[in-house]
Structure 1
Amino acid sequence: MLSVAGLEAAYGSSRVLFGVELAVGAGEALALLGRNGMGKTTTVRAIMGLLRPSAGSVRFEGIELAGLRSFAVARAGLGLVPEGRQVFPNLTVRENLVATARRGRWRLAEVEALFPVLAERRTAWGNELSGGEQQMLAIGRALLTNPKLLILDEATEGLAPRIRGEIWRVLARLKAEGLAILVIDKNVGDLIRLCDRHAILEKGKVAWTGSSAELAAEPALQARYLGV
């Protein structure tokens, strides 16, 4: 479904990505792992058209996306839950949800059933929500674009344990329904339970790829690339 090959990107003269290679199949969940500053968010930004790659290919269902603007990437079927949530503070919860909605399987009623708190807080402003509520809103907003691939950058960062559990439950349900997922998060145990495969970034390159079983069986690998 998604194929990234030889992806390079930079901020001005500072190169960040050096030939990143990864792929996500239909209905598959892939975790993008690595310490802070290794290029995970830059990879997502380059895939989503928020940062123009300096080289490489980003193909989605056979269509080349590299160099397209972000709205065109979204129309192709990629939905983003960005780092920091980035909800619209001066819009209500409902307005945040419907602002970019497209027709498809996910409609407002389905998202509110998935996250009942969003129905309860429908008229609240975006900046009145807790961090957990904002993350649910960001996921709901992405789902209402009816993506074929959902990308989450720091899916549960800074959230209370109860809210983290709710997010992982929802992601497991989405995967079970056949939605492809690319997720960045620091909770390796939860990622191993959710994802089929993992790719570890080290200094802008993919240093390791493997299955959840392989990652779980190699604590030394986790310590080498993911330990603080």
Structure 2
Amino acid sequence: MLTVSSLEAGYGDVQVLFGISLSIAQGEVVTLLGRNGMGKTTTIKSIFGLVKPSGGTIAMDEVALAGKPPFRAAQAGLGLVPEGRQIFPNLTVEENLIATAADRDRAAKPWSLERVYEFFPRLKERRRNMGTQLSGGEQQMLAIGRALMTNPKLLVLDEATEGLAPVIRQEIWACLARLKQDGQSILVIDKNVDALVKLADRHLILEKGRLVWEGTSADFLASPDLKDRYLHV
């Protein structure tokens, strides 16, 4: 489905990514791990056309995306839950959801307002509220619901539970587990490694813009030194 090969990217004269290669298959949940500043968000921005790569290829179902504008990534079936949520503050919950809605004939079980409200009952309760009137957890639910309304082949979450209270984090992880059960492909960045190990099929670790480790959750648990070497500050 998603294939990234030898990706290089940066900002101005500062190179951040050095030959990143990864792939995500249909129905997989994959994590992108690493300390702050190691290139995780730059990888996501490159995939979505928010940063123009200086080398390498990006393809979604063999549709070339490297260097293309962001709407091409959306057309190809990529849905983003961005870092910081970035919901539209001057729109209501329902308007936020409708704003990104896309009709995907390929979706076996398409996402609609009704389905999002069933998945996130709290959003239905708050559907007339403005985005700024929601709690952090509700805003994250809205950001996920907004991305699902694009009926994505691959859902990408950058810092899935950052800044949320522990009880709300558990709700988000439970939602992602339900999406996985439904066959949704997911790429997720988060610092809560213990939750990610329970959720994901595979993990990728970045260090200074390079992919330094890749393996399953079982592989990760069998290598306890990985946390100290690559993830702890």
TM-score for the superposition, normalised by structure 2: 0.96
Aligned to 1:69: 69
Query: 1:204 matched to which residue of 2?
Result: 209
2:15 and 2:130 mapped to 1: Cα distance? 38
- 2:47 alignment partner in structure 1: 47
Shift of the alpha carbon at 1:191?
A: 0.5
How many aligned positions are there?
A: 228
The aligned residue for residue 200 of structure 2 is 195
CA distance in 1, matches of 2:201, 2:159: 18
Q: Distance in 1 between matches of 2:53 and 2:141?
A: 30
Other-structure match for 2:112: 107
Alignment of 1:14-25 (within 5 A): 14-25=14-25
Kindly indicate whether residue 147 of structure 2 is the aligned counterpart of residue 142 of structure 1: yes
Q: Please give the alpha-carbon distance, in whole angstroms, between the structure 2 residues aligned to 1:136 and 1:81.
A: 10
Q: Is the 8 A contact 1:31 1:183 kept in 2?
A: yes
CA separation in 1, counterparts of 2:50 and 2:67?
A: 9
Distance 1:175 1:75 in 2: 22
Partners of 2:144 and 2:80 lie apart in 1 by 8
d(CA) in 2 for partners of 1:221, 1:155: 21
Mapped partners of 1:176, 1:147: distance in 2:
15
Aligned mates of 2:124, 2:83 — CA distance in 1: 23
Which structure 2 residues correspond to residues 73-152 of structure 1 after superposition, within 5 A?
A: 73-104=73-104, 105-152=110-157
1:112 touches 1:119 (CA, 8 Å); kept in 2? Answer: yes
**What CA distance in whole angstroms lies between the structure 2 residues aligned with 1:110 and 1:163?**
21
The CA distance in 2 between the partners of 1:12 and 1:85, in whole Å, is: 26
1:69 corresponds to which letter in structure 2? P
Alignment partner of 1:179 is 2:180: no
- Runs of 4+ in structure 1 displaced over 3 angstroms? none
Query: How far does the alpha carbon of each residue in 1:16-39 deviate from its partner, in whole angstroms, 9 at most, with x for none?
Result: 111111110110010000000000
- Judge conservation of contact 1:87–1:137 (CA < 8 Å) in 2: yes
1:161 aligns with 2:166: yes
Identity of aligned residues (%): 62
Q: State the 1:119 CA deviation.
A: 0.4
Partners of 1:52 and 1:157 lie apart in 2 by: 26
AA of the residue aligned to 2:196: L
Q: 1:224 aligns with which of 208, 226, 229?
A: 229
Q: State the 1:103 CA deviation.
A: 1.9
Distance in 1, Cα, partners of 2:9 & 2:21: 13
User: How many Å apart are 1:219 and its aligned residue?
Assistant: 1.2
Two-structure CA RMSD over aligned residues (Å)? 0.7
Can you list the C-alpha shifts for 1:159-218, whole angstroms capped at 9, x where unaligned? 111111111111111111111100000011111111000000000010100000010121
Looking at structure 1, the residues matched to 179 and 71 of structure 2 have their Cα atoms a distance apart, in angstroms, of: 23
Task: Indicate the larger mover: 99-108 or 76-85.
Answer: 99-108
- 1:4–1:21 CA contact under 8 A, matched in 2: yes
**Structure 2: where are the runs of 5+ without partners?**
105-109
Tell me the TM-score normalized by structure 1: 0.99
Aligned to 2:7: 7
Letter in 2 for 1:72: R
**Matched residue of 1:119: which SS?**
helix
